[in-house]
Amino acid sequence: MMVDRSEPALEAGLFQIKVDREAEDERFYQALVPFGSFDDVVRRDRYRPLPDDWIVAVTDVSHSTEAIEQGRYREVNTAGAAVLAAVSNALPDLQFPSTFGGDGASFAAPGAYSSIIRDTLAKTAAWAEDALGLTLRIAVIPVADIRAQHLDVLVARFAPSSNVTYAMFDGGGLAWAERKLKQGGYTFPRAPMGVTADLTGLSCRFAPISAKNGVIFSLIVVPRDDPTSFVEFIQELLRTLRSNDSGLHPLPAEGPIPAWAGDDLDHAIQKGSRKSPFAAGAAKRLHAILAWVGTPLGVPVGNFDETGFRRELVENTDYRKFDDGLRMTVDCSSELADVVDARLEEAQRRGACFFGTHRQLAANLTCFVPSPMRANHVHFVDGASGGYAFAAANLKRNVASGEAPDSERRSA
């Protein structure tokens, strides 16, 4: 009796192809070639489309503007950064593209991890509400649903230093996903009371960082009617900022000043930290390190390189990004902020963009440091008195009115 073994062989071959494709999809972000000049952020050839079977997760703090007006900007920023810390801890071997938006965060990942991601986001939302009193809205959207809207999610890797890369997004898909979240689409509930995500490595141990040049200037610029005009204007705007660069980085070269005393926010974060990031008792050492790093006199802890950590902290800070629009938090003079506002208003009048800006006297830093012994720690910066949230509110008013100037600007 002859046995036809061709079908099982074919099935095995298909299985191997499927496994290889899944492995390739998992390496998608890691395989992207980073670029080091931020001017390239509007070059479409730097971007690649997400794999078809990926998902996009979007989050934001509900009523964040009101919370910030109550002086709770650190809590709002921490809730946004907690999303990325929790997912990184839940999927420690996966490199995935993400972006911090001040009052929330967005990221993309293979659809195979959807259940883990949904569970992690639900736990993070539970922690945000139970520990911080903030409502974190969460949604997971298939990339296929975004492409059904004739939009896309394109990703590039920007390397601000040799230590880390940050994802840049284009294609309109991420902005659409954020709108759907705010409309209640694709959302799901938080986890039950008492359940929390693993937030190990999340920290908010630095005092507000005072502006050295005049103001901390938060800006958001998004496309309006003509994509070509928008790209040309962003290139012009980046040239303007570069030509006036007297140290636009919002952090001082020596690093930020620590907040010496732990507060309720620090205690809330520690409640979400479950595992030692690099050795027994290392969580306490991490807090000690972050308590004195940035000061001229630090007592060495083990093999920790204080000078190197401070340098990396500044280099790794995420103060400029592109996620379907330009976002920046810079330290500049009031005069330069006036110049930028005037150019933004003119560009908006001619249909190149919509924009929102906000000025304040200090910046806020939120950190994710799985191990201070490694150079890939990341630091998210926002304005300390409104930042991206107030800039977004001004942007929303400009979009709603359909006309150029936002005549009433909040100032420091």
Note the pLDDT tens digit of each residue in 307-359: 778 888 999 999 999 999 999 999 999 999 999 999 999 999 999 999 999 99
**26: in domain:** no
Place of tokens 């304040």: 360
Range of the domain at 171: 32-188+198-401
CA-closest candidate to residue 380, choices 87, 84, 95, 61? 84
**pLDDT score for 303:** 63
**pLDDT score for 298:** 45
**4: in domain:** no
Enumerate residue ranges in the chain where pLDDT < 70. Answer: 1-24, 245-246, 259-264, 267, 271-304, 373, 403-412
251 residue type, one letter: L
pTM of the predicted structure, to 2 decimals: 0.84
CA-closest candidate to residue 92, choices 201, 204, 205, 203? 201
**pLDDT score for 306:** 73
**257: in domain:** yes
**23: in domain:** no
CA-closest candidate to residue 390, choices 98, 73, 59? 73
Residues in a beta bridge with 329: 218
For residue 114, count CB atoms less than 10 angstroms from its CB and return exposed for 0-12, middle for 13-18, buried for 19 or more: middle
Neighbours of 62 (CB within 10 A): 13
**17: in domain:** no
User: Residues 379, 311: contact at Cβ < 8 Å?
Assistant: no
Report the sign of the C-alpha dihedral through residues 246, 249, 253, 257, in that order. Answer: positive
For the chain, the domain total comes to: 1
**pLDDT score for 176:** 98
**20: in domain:** no
**338: in domain:** yes
SS3 state of residue 278: coil
Q: At what angle do helices 264-271 and 282-292 cross, to 10 degrees?
A: 150
Distance CA 157, CA 166 (A): 6
**pLDDT score for 403:** 55
**pLDDT score for 82:** 96
Distance CA 218, CA 105 (A): 17
**134: in domain:** yes
